[in-house]
Amino acid sequence: MTKFSDLNLNPKVMKAITEAGYESPTPIQAGAIPSALEGRDVLGIAQTGTGKTASFTLPMLSLLARGRARARMPRSLVLCPTRELAAQVAENFDTYSKHLKLTKALLIGGVSFKEQELIIDKGVDVLIATPGRLLDHFERGKLILSDVKVMVVDEADRMLDMGFIPDIERIFGLTPFTRQTLFFSATMAPEIERITNTFLSNPERVEVARQATASETIEQNVVMFKASRRDREGSEKRRVLRALLDAEGDTCTNAVIFCNRKTDVDICAKSLKKYGYDAAPIHGDLDQSQRTKTLDAFRGGELRLLVASDVAARGLDVPSVSHVFNFDVPGHAEDYVHRIGRTGRAGREGKAITICSPRDEKQFEAVEALIQKEIPRIENPVKVEPRKPRKPKEEAPKAEAKPEVQEAAAEPRKAPAQGGRDDTRGRSNSNTRGRGRGRYDRRDDNQVVGMGDHMPSFIALSFEERRSQ
């Protein structure tokens, strides 16, 4: 078996690795580190949770051990799709570079530009950034990328999903063509392959697992859920989630619950807290300080349930996550692999349970096609009662007509007097589409009734008085 001591790493880096308790590299590390130390471009393809971060962190530190950075001119650049992943990479550099006199800067959103500029002005050896914030500093004239010797693109397929590919291409154009490029991704979409063919020079391809495969240590299940009524789907689905959590019991020490939409993340977290569960939300719309605080609480074991959007599907490195619950089936099948990859890390056992409603069945079929296996179905822990058909309403008995009404109906209807205002009103009514107060009665051809079928007697008397004058 290959050991880290066989990889020809810098002695100070090896000392940090030993102190961290690592002896043997993972397959992606064993394949990528030797080629990176030789100065070759590397294209690494591996599922999440296999140690890709150390695959570029360790050789980069060994290559940067000698030399010194100049102001505003970083010597290496690491691009990450999310703030959380960038922060995780920064923690890895802190762990493995503690015996080296190297400096780093973290450029992510939600942090003051001035604080970041002060660090850049001093000169940094390693610059870890998200594409948007990096270009913001460059356009402000605070960053020069002409001295970058090693460039890393981490989670490239996630960059594609988030629309960062144009930014990545622009950043590649700002760095020297003589740079060394380390490119890592869990899947190889056609667009990703085009970029690697354009910007990588004869790369060493290291692929340690079939594209988009789930770890064998993760037990996967799915609940086929159907709501009793459409307007109750959300509440009944949350009830199923609570029942699944209760069914796992003490085996569920902590869990990540994934929702597709940010609004559902907030609603689900609020509902869980209402029923006494220790839960908190995390998504892109939250303030960076709140996101950091929530993640730290989850990593430290102070928070049991983390309700998240896909912003946390990658880069959330908590080795001891016992469960992952997919409240929604992800829109992209590849995201399923990244979601459940939050559990079962570093050879540990994990469990992933998905709730699939009828509208998500097509996406779930795509997931099973991608991982090339059928996910076992489990019984819905909540028995949803079918909707009861409505009983036909009983017809109410017809009320008997009052004697006065019967007598009025029996009397023959009198024709109105010829001439006068009634006659004129009736004629204008028939020719002007009912603009007058009277209405045309189709039961009698020429009958016009001024104010309904039963005209008060005092109005008829007033008409007679006018005609007599």
Each residue's pLDDT tens digit, 238-273: 999 999 999 999 999 999 999 999 899 999 999 999
Looking at the structure, tell me whether residues 201 and 223 fall in a common domain.
no
Helices (H), 349-398: 361-371
The mean per-residue pLDDT over the stretch 359-385 comes to 88
The mean per-residue pLDDT over the stretch 10-33 comes to 92
**Secondary structure element (H or E) that encloses residue 57, with its range:** helix 52-64
* Structure confidence at residue 424 as a pLDDT band (50, 70, 90): very low
* Structure confidence at residue 426 as a pLDDT band (50, 70, 90): very low
**Structural domains of the chain, count:** 3
Last residue of some domain: 148, 181, 207? 207
The mean per-residue pLDDT over the stretch 156-171 comes to 88
Looking at the structure, tell me whether residues 229 and 202 fall in a common domain.
no
- The answer to the question of residue 181 being in a domain is yes
- The answer to the question of residue 342 being in a domain is yes
Looking at the structure, tell me whether residues 222 and 199 fall in a common domain.
no
- The answer to the question of residue 343 being in a domain is yes
Looking at the structure, tell me whether residues 290 and 425 fall in a common domain.
no
Q: What is the pLDDT of residue 83?
A: 86
Of 135, 133, 130, 132, whose CA–CA distance to 145 is shortest? 135
pTM above 0.85, yes or no: no
The mean per-residue pLDDT over the stretch 276-300 comes to 88
Residues in the chain: 469
- The answer to the question of residue 105 being in a domain is yes
Looking at the structure, tell me whether residues 309 and 240 fall in a common domain.
yes
Last residue of some domain: 359, 378, 397? 378
Looking at the structure, tell me whether residues 224 and 117 fall in a common domain.
no
Q: What is the pLDDT of residue 430?
A: 43
Looking at the structure, tell me whether residues 176 and 320 fall in a common domain.
no
Looking at the structure, tell me whether residues 285 and 347 fall in a common domain.
yes
Task: Give the tens place of pLDDT for each residue, 214-225.
Answer: 778 899 999 999
Report yes or no: 29 and 203 within 8 Å, Cβ to Cβ: no
Q: What is the CATH number of the domain that holds 264?
A: 3.40.50.300
Looking at the structure, tell me whether residues 101 and 168 fall in a common domain.
yes
Looking at the structure, tell me whether residues 335 and 454 fall in a common domain.
no
Domain range holding 171?
Answer: 4-207
Task: Answer left, alpha or beta for residue 72, where phi above 0 means left and psi between -120 and 50 means alpha.
Answer: left
Looking at the structure, tell me whether residues 157 and 271 fall in a common domain.
no
- The answer to the question of residue 117 being in a domain is yes
If one compares 155 and 239, the residue with the highest pLDDT of the two is: 239
Looking at the structure, tell me whether residues 133 and 41 fall in a common domain.
yes
The mean per-residue pLDDT over the stretch 24-51 comes to 88
User: Burial of 111 by CB count in 10 Å (0-12 exposed, 13-18 middle, 19+ buried)?
Assistant: middle
Percent of the chain with pLDDT over 90: 51
Last residue of some domain: 160, 187, 207? 207
